Amino acid sequence: MHRRWVAAWALVGLGVLSLVGGVLLPGEGAPVTITGAGSTFDYPLFSTMFARYHQLHPDVQVNYQSIGSGGGQQQLFAGTVEFGASDAPLTDEQQRAHPTIVHLPITVGAVAVGYNLPGVGSGLRLTGDVLARIYLGEIVRWSDPAIARLNPGRRLPGLPIAVVHRADGSGTTFIFTSYLSAVSPQWAAKVGRGVSVAWPAGVGAKGSEGVAGQVRQTPGGIGYFEMAYAVQNRIPMALVQNMAGRWVAPSVHGASVGAAQAAARMPADLRAVFVNAPGADTYPIAGFSWLLVDSRRVRPALLDLVTWMIHDGQRYAAPLGYAPLPAPVVRRDEEKLRSLRAGH
Residues near other proteins, by CB under 8 A: 40, 67-71, 73-74, 88, 90-91, 93-94, 140, 160, 162, 167-171, 191-199, 202-206, 210, 213-214, 217-218
Residues near 296 by beta carbon (within 8 Å), at least 6 away in sequence: 100
- 53 versus 224: smaller Cβ distance to other proteins: 224
Asked if 220 contacts 163 with a C-beta cutoff of 8 angstroms, the reply is: no
Asked if 340 contacts 297 with a C-beta cutoff of 8 angstroms, the reply is: no
- 208 versus 314: smaller Cβ distance to other proteins: 208
- 38 versus 324: smaller Cβ distance to other proteins: 38
Asked if 198 contacts 136 with a C-beta cutoff of 8 angstroms, the reply is: no
- 24 versus 198: smaller Cβ distance to other proteins: 198
- 144 versus 334: smaller Cβ distance to other proteins: 144
The alpha helices in the chain, defined as continuous H runs, are: 2-24, 43-56, 69-78, 92-97, 128-135, 145-150, 171-183, 185-190, 207-217, 227-232, 252-264, 300-310, 327-343
- 213 versus 328: smaller Cβ distance to other proteins: 213
Smallest gap, in angstroms, from Cβ of residue 118 to other proteins? 15
Smallest gap, in angstroms, from Cβ of residue 152 to other proteins? 27
- 226 versus 279: smaller Cβ distance to other proteins: 226
Distance, in Å, from the CA atom of 235 to the CA atom of 216, rounded to the nearest integer, reads 8
Smallest gap, in angstroms, from Cβ of residue 173 to other proteins? 9
Smallest gap, in angstroms, from Cβ of residue 54 to other proteins? 26
Smallest gap, in angstroms, from Cβ of residue 222 to other proteins? 12
Smallest gap, in angstroms, from Cβ of residue 204 to other proteins? 3
Smallest gap, in angstroms, from Cβ of residue 165 to other proteins? 9
Asked if 176 contacts 275 with a C-beta cutoff of 8 angstroms, the reply is: no
- Other beta carbons within 10 angstroms of residue 104's beta carbon come to 23
- 71 versus 279: smaller Cβ distance to other proteins: 71
Q: Edge-to-edge, what's the strand order for the sheet holding 203-205?
A: 60-65, 32-38, 83-86, 286-294, 101-116, 221-226, 162-166, 203-205
Smallest gap, in angstroms, from Cβ of residue 83 to other proteins? 16
- Other beta carbons within 10 angstroms of residue 40's beta carbon come to 22
Q: Closest Cα partner for 85 from 94, 97, 73, 99?
A: 73
